[in-house]
Chain A
């Protein structure tokens, strides 16, 4: 089992709809959770981070963490074509190693 798993996609979502991206992790001792966005040919940039169970909202983005079920998700409301990118989930595992998932490619259809 991979330490951090994401569905590689591609995930296609109509413009204006909600995009839901999921990430599961294997280490129950994991502490910090990050979502990065990466446009094609560019470097990753942070979208959200979350440390505690529950939801964290920032504008159109909501991160949801469920430590008991070992998943973290990212919701993008009112999806825009500019949201089309690869989304990387990163988890600070219990051994204090930051591990990235392979990413989910999201396409917003106008």
Chain B
């Protein structure tokens, strides 16, 4: 089944404790992206990747890191999480930035 998977689905952590949210797709897509979704603010892009080893900042990259060492994986790293990073996070992939994006199931992160 073609899909985007994210892990974990739910995470509660404390300020400053490094964490990684994994994202994997099995559709051989070139383009992958991370979004956060907050009430009243909609979906905002954090980082995106056009291909392996090619990543770039989106609208809200502060406090986040990404890497794309393999085509299928695009982990999101929070080196020192803070409460303002409490949000719902979505990973998405697409054959190309101009096409439909396929979203993962989401990761609900709470930072206390």
* Residues on A facing B (Cβ under 8 Å): 8, 31-32, 34, 42-46, 49, 88, 90, 92, 96-103
- If A101-B42, A102-B41 are given as contacts, then 15 extra A-B residue pairs at C-beta distance below 8 Å, sorted by A number, are A8-B40, A32-B98, A34-B100, A43-B104, A43-B106, A44-B43, A44-B103, A46-B100, A88-B42, A88-B43, A92-B97, A96-B97, A98-B45, A98-B101, A103-B42
Complex alpha-carbon distance, A32 and B104, angstroms: 22
**Secondary structure dominating the interface of B:** loop
Contact with A along B4-21 (1 / 0, CB 8 A): 000000000000000000
Q: Which residues of A lie under 8 Å from residue B100 when comparing CB positions?
A: 34, 46, 49
Q: Which residues of B lie under 8 Å from residue A32 when comparing CB positions?
A: 98
Complex alpha-carbon distance, A42 and B101, angstroms: 15
Q: Number of residue pairs across A and B with beta carbons under 8 Å?
A: 39
B47 at the binding interface (Cβ < 8 Å): no
Complex alpha-carbon distance, A45 and B46, angstroms: 19
Complex alpha-carbon distance, A104 and B85, angstroms: 24
Q: How far is the CB of A33 from chain B (nearest CB, A)?
A: 11
